[in-house]
């Protein structure tokens, strides 16, 4: 279209020029030394125009010839970049698909020509780790750092992440400790540092990091509370493992007030106290917590604690029936406490009520033992079988041996002939 317009314009110009020069009788004379040339003005103008057009096209041809090497180089560069981009993209796809060996090969194939050598080396480092080539991984990370020193934080964050994934939390900690000094407010640094401390169970370090995590809004409220609970559980476990009673109680007293009301922490601490023959203290802590917050696991634990006053412990548990009359855990606890108090009628009534509220393997075992000692062997066998069935439905539940359960609960044998008719518990 362009050339057509030019041709039409040239024809129109030629026609116009012909009309203007048709009646013109002038001539042109050129003299050069002994040479003299005379011609009409019309012919001279036409020759001059033809010369100009020829010169124009010759110049354009020369310019194009001059640009051929540069154009060829540009074409080759574009072709090379396109091939490099395709190879890099292929390597990234293989990395996502888990084709580690192919991914490493393609990410490094044209890395020197890549527009993103940093990403190529970081991807190759991930692939090398998956192949177990730790030395190659570290080498690629070093090359990534040399390619773009401004991306040092990104490179070292990747290194820490790979070290942690490889089971090298100590090495990851060194990397992240350095990064914390360089970028103490960086969210990713704080997140990975939190993960490393959890892996190493450095609960005191995590506790020191908690205020920073809250200020920087690194974790949501639920995640923060979960981490806080895990930290204080870890500190408590350290004190328990130490075997030092003083350290254990100091650790408990140093917990924030709200954590000392957490049912999971209360359960763990009270259970350890009960195991170490400190039943009175364990009973008091569980009783105090249950007054503020009802927790099934603490209700069950209360039935296993042996305080100094079994009568008072049973009386306290009975008072909870007013607000929790059909609670299966409470009824089971009352049955166990009644057994320890040798109140066989109450024990049977509570255990039967617990079994009716929610079938339970432990209630079946205790009832079976009580019925066996009462001479009701057939019913005892039925409860033993039912308890076995319920226990097998919960693989994590330990199956108690089929021995008289009353003696296990009380440490004393029941009376040889309990009353045939057991009145309901008052």
- Residue 414 in domain: yes
Q: Rounded to the nearest 5 degrees, what angle is found at the Cα of 182, between the Cα atoms of 179 and 186?
A: 70
- Residue 387 in domain: yes
| Among candidate residues 93, 123, 147, the one where a domain is terminated | 147
Whether 30 shows a pLDDT value over 90: the answer reads no
Whether 365 shows a pLDDT value over 70: the answer reads yes
pLDDT by residue (tens digit) across 216-234?
Answer: 888 888 999 999 999 999 9
Whether 415 shows a pLDDT value over 80: the answer reads no
| Among candidate residues 118, 147, 176, the one where a domain is terminated | 147
pLDDT by residue (tens digit) across 194-217?
Answer: 999 999 999 999 999 999 998 988
| pLDDT bracket for residue 77 (50, 70, 90) | low
- Tokens of residue 13, six digits: 């110009």
The pTM of this model reads 0.63
Residues with Cβ within 8 Å of 126's Cβ and at least 6 positions away in sequence, in order, are 95, 137, 158, 162
What is the phi/psi pair of residue 308, to 5°? Answer: -70, -35
What rounded mean pLDDT belongs to the chain? 83
> Average pLDDT, stretch 280-309?
92
For residues 312 and 337, give the distance between their C-alpha atoms in angstroms, rounded to a whole number. 10
| Among candidate residues 147, 163, 185, the one where a domain is terminated | 147
Give percent of the chain with pLDDT exceeding 70: 85
- Residue 359 in domain: yes
Domain count of the chain?
2
Range in 66-80, 150-164, 330-344 with the lowest mean pLDDT = 66-80
| pLDDT bracket for residue 14 (50, 70, 90) | low
Q: Which of 155, 75, 143, 79 is CA-nearest to residue 111?
A: 143
- Residue 271 in domain: no
More confident residue, 8 or 18: 8
What is the phi/psi pair of residue 127, to 5°? Answer: -65, -40
- Residue 3 in domain: no
Please report which helix (H) or strand (E) contains residue 31, including its range: strand 27-32
- Residue 90 in domain: yes
Sign of the Cα pseudo-torsion (45, 48, 52, 58, in order): positive
Range of the domain at 88: 74-147
pLDDT of residue 25: 58
- Residue 89 in domain: yes
Answer yes or no: are the C-beta atoms of 293 and 263 closer than 8 Å: yes
pLDDT by residue (tens digit) across 173-188?
Answer: 999 999 988 888 899 9
Range in 1-5, 210-214, 294-298, 399-403 with the lowest mean pLDDT = 399-403
How many Cβ atoms are within 10 Å of 249's Cβ, its own excluded?
Answer: 15
- Residue 346 in domain: yes
Q: Which CATH number fits the domain that encloses residue 139?
A: 1.25.40
Reduce the DSSP state of residue 257 to 3 states and report it: coil
More confident residue, 41 or 301: 301
């Amino acid at each position: 279209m362009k050339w057509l317009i030019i041709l039409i314009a040239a024809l129109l110009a030629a026609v116009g020029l012909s009309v203007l020069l048709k009646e013109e009788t002038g001539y042109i004379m050129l003299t050069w030394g002994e040479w003299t040339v005379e011609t009409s003005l019309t012919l001279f103008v036409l020759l001059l125009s033809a010369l100009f057009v020829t010169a124009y096209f010759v110049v354009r041809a020369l310019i194009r010839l001059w640009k051929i090497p540069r154009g060829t180089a540009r074409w080759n560069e574009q072709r090379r970049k396109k091939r490099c981009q395709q190879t890099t993209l292929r390597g990234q796809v293989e990395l996502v698909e888990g084709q580690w060996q192919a991914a490493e090969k393609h990410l490094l194939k044209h890395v020197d020509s890549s527009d993103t050598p940093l990403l190529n080396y970081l991807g190759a480092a991930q692939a090398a780790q998956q192949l177990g080539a730790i030395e190659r991984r570290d080498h690629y990370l070093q090359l990534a750092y040399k390619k773009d020193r401004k991306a040092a934080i990104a490179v070292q964050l990747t290194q820490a992440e790979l070290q942690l994934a490889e089971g090298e939390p100590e090495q990851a900690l060194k990397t992240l400790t350095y990064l914390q000094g360089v970028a103490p407010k960086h969210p990713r640094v704080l997140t990975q540092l939190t993960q490393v401390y959890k892996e190493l169970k450095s609960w005191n370090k995590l506790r020191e990091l908690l205020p920073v995590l809250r200020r920087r809004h690194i974790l949501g409220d639920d995640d923060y509370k979960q981490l806080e609970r895990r930290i204080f559980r870890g500190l408590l476990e350290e004190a328990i493992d130490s075997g030092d009673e003083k350290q254990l109680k100091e650790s408990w007293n140093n917990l924030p007030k709200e954590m000392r009301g957490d049912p999971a922490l209360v359960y763990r601490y009270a259970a350890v106290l009960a195991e170490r023959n400190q039943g009175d203290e364990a009973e008091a802590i569980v009783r105090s917590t249950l007054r503020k917050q009802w927790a099934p696991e603490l209700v069950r634990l209360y039935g296993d604690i042996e305080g100094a006053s079994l009568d008072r412990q049973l009386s306290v548990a009975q008072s909870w029936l007013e607000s929790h009359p059909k609670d299966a855990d409470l009824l089971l606890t009352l049955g166990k406490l009644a057994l320890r108090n040798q109140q066989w009628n109450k024990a049977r009534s509570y255990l039967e009520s617990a079994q009716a509220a929610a079938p339970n393997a432990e209630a079946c075992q205790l009832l079976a033992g009580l019925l066996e000692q009462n001479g009701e062997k057939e019913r005892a066998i039925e409860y033993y079988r039912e308890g076995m069935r319920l226990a097998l439905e919960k693989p994590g539940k330990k199956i108690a041996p089929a021995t008289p359960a009353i003696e296990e609960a009380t440490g004393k044998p029941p009376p040889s002939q309990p009353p045939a008719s057991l009145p309901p518990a008052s």
